[in-house]
Amino acid sequence: MALKIKWNDDRVRGATTAILLISRDRLQRGETEDLIAASLAEYRADPESYKVRKAAWAGPKELGPLTKSAHVAYYRNLCAATEALLQRMQQNKRQSNSLLELDNYLITSLRNVR
């Protein structure tokens, strides 16, 4: 039986939240290369470490430690693009057959945010 991850599954919201939080942390450290894919890879590699760090971080909509105007602008655009993506997924009732497929969809959909 194939795994179905529906648009309203907690794993979808969890992955998008992880993208936002880890991306913000990476931006703050100056790591901007392949940000979405790297953030998802970090989240999938060690979800327990992410949960511990998540408790100490500001909420995903907050700018947190970002100070550079380019990083602030990018992060705001990423937040808006993530919300729009979640709405599209809900409207289209998007499903994925695996976590890898979900991750690839999120990376493809968010990688062109500027």
> Using one digit for the tens of pLDDT, what is the confidence trace for 35-85?
999 999 999 999 999 999 999 999 999 998 899 999 999 999 999 999 999
Q: For residue 13, give the amino acid letter.
A: R
User: How far apart (Å, rounded) are the C-alpha atoms in residues 105 and 81?
Assistant: 13
Check residue 3 and give its pLDDT: 77
> Using one digit for the tens of pLDDT, what is the confidence trace for 8-40?
999 999 999 999 999 999 999 999 999 999 999
Sign of CA dihedral 86, 91, 95, 100: negative
Q: For residue 5, what is the DSSP state?
A: E
**Whether the predicted pLDDT of 1 surpasses 60:** no
Q: For residue 108, give the amino acid letter.
A: T
Cβ atoms 63, 75 nearer than 8 A:
yes
Check residue 2 and give its pLDDT: 62
Cβ atoms 72, 63 nearer than 8 A:
yes
Q: Please state the domain extents for the chain.
A: 5-110
